[in-house]
Amino acid sequence: MVGYSAGAEFPQSSVDAESRADVLVIGGGPAGATTAITLARRGHRTILVEKDRHPRFHIGESLLPMSMPILDELGVLAEVEAKGIIKRGADFPSGSSPGYQVFRFNRSLNPTWPHAVQIRRQDLDTLLIDRARAVGVQVLEATRIEGVDLGADWIRASARGADGEPLSIAARYVVDATGRDTFLGNQLRLKRRHRRHQSAALYAHFIGVRRREGEDAGNISIYRVEDGWIWVIPLPDNITSIGLVCGPDTLRGRAGDSATFLWRTLRSVPALASRLEEAELAGHLEATGNYSYECSKIAGPRWIMVGDAGLFVDPIFSSGVHFALETARRAADVVDTVLMDPAQETALHREYAHSHRQAVKRISWFIVRFNTPVMRRLFANPRNDWRLEEAIISMLAGDFYRDGGIAWRLRLFKVIYALHCLADIPGALRGLLQLRKRRREAFDSEPALPGSV
């Protein structure tokens, strides 16, 4: 293996001194900025390349309690809370008054942060990228990486800067934080559709949406529709983010324009329609397809993926930003160690990939079955026998990596789910047909839907 310890000399050739680094981070969202901040603080020369300029619109506005300690470590928590809305829980439909069941984070099985934040992603991302600059990261915005040569003694990245001129970057390590662009996943042909779930999304910002009362005003609300689910995320300035996640066939076969289709679907849910009586579309109407995917490898010799660059699952439990922050923190630990001791790379990569895939597996079982009749009933009527409800709340709070009694309780919940399926054969069969339909769509769907409508 070629040595690349922190004290090694950079290759000279044609690479400008300003474009040499210990680590090249591709992507300036939460995953990329967190990785860059952490590594720069540990003394590594870090270049972060972002194809756009901040602030820029992005979906993924609902954070989780387990993200709050990470934001605190990064030094941005106070600003994040000042720019966002406090989120104390998540609510799901229920037949009992007031028509929804709230899962409050302060009832988690293990002590976690008692709340999260709903925040515009352009605000969160800008705070993080500014923090990266403040700790010494060289940030190149409006710069696009066109290719990365991983085979040479040093990683060589070819890029094009904001002025259109070509740029070459040399680094010892590269971190792919490109999110759904999955830069290395595409270059190395590692990306594949999620084997068990495939969906598309249509979303927008609205004004005038009625919010929950009292301390529940900042909650994320989840509603179900026949072929998917709807998120409702309160944001500052009377803005609400609302999105529909459904099967690709449903979105491709929509009647009328996208705005009309979205309004019609939202108003088809009586409990949501009542909250939209004074609502207006405010903008950012966008669609995306192939919503769930994974890469067969998320780390290799001198490279590692963080956040959505490696895999992405249905966002029903608001896990996207938390996985971005958590994997970034863990990947930074890996890179920091490997730059000092390359011999540890393979073992650290194996541990990193295993822990992340296990965390995703913990919530994927629930995501795949969320819209089945049996799961609807269980979420609408939670019980805390054996502290099962508290374990579910821990999962909703983003406690994906720790155990503390969560794992065996979630396994017990799966047994209870199976028993309910046996007691409701018609409902279980309907759920099975839904699962098979989604799996079929996962392999039959087209590569992508338009990104803007």
Please give the domain boundaries of the chain with CATH numbers for all domains: 17-58+121-193+293-359 (3.50.50.60)
With beta carbons less than 8 A apart as the criterion, state whether 160 and 147 touch.
Answer: no
**What pLDDT shows up at residue 369?**
87
pLDDT of residue 401: 93
Rounded-to-integer distance, Cα 34 and Cα 400, Å: 19
Closest residue by Cα to residue 361 from 333, 318, 395, 394: 395
Residue closest to 26 by CA, chosen among 182, 133, 153 = 182
Q: How far apart are the first and last CA of the chain?
A: 48
What dihedral angle (degrees, nearest 10) is formed by the CA atoms of 108, 111, 114, 115?
A: -70
Residue/partner pairs of 97-104 with CB below 8 Å, 24 or more apart? 99/271, 100/221, 100/271, 101/379, 101/380, 101/381, 101/382, 102/216, 102/219, 103/382, 103/389, 103/392, 103/393, 103/396, 104/393
Residue whose entry in the numeric block shows the structure tokens 């009542």: 274
Please state the φ and ψ torsions of residue 266, each to the nearest 5 degrees. -65, -40
- If we measure between CA atoms, which residue out of 37, 243, 257, 22 comes closest to residue 136? 37
DSSP three-state, residue 390? helix
Residue 446, pLDDT score:
41
Q: What is the pLDDT of residues 170-224, one digit of tens each?
A: 999 999 999 999 999 999 999 987 666 667 899 999 999 999 999 999 999 999 9
Q: How many Cα atoms occupy the beta-carbon half-sphere of 344 within 13 Å?
A: 13
Cα→Cα distances 115→68, 282, 425, 427, Å: 8, 27, 38, 35
Of all helices (H) and strands (E), which one includes residue 435?
A: helix 425-444
pLDDT given for residue 315 in this prediction? 82
Report the alpha-carbon distance of residue 190 to residue 257 in Å, rounded: 35
Residue entry with tokens 């822990």: 355
Q: Kindly report the CA angle at 268 between 421 and 264, in degrees rounded to 5?
A: 135
pLDDT at 77: 98
- pLDDT < 70 positions in the chain: 1-18, 194-198, 290-291, 427, 431-432, 434-453
pLDDT of residue 449: 34
Residues 246, 200: contact at Cβ < 8 Å? yes
Q: State residue 157's pLDDT score.
A: 95
**SS3 category, 144:** strand
Please give the pLDDT value at position 288. Answer: 82
What type of residue sits at position 56? Answer: R
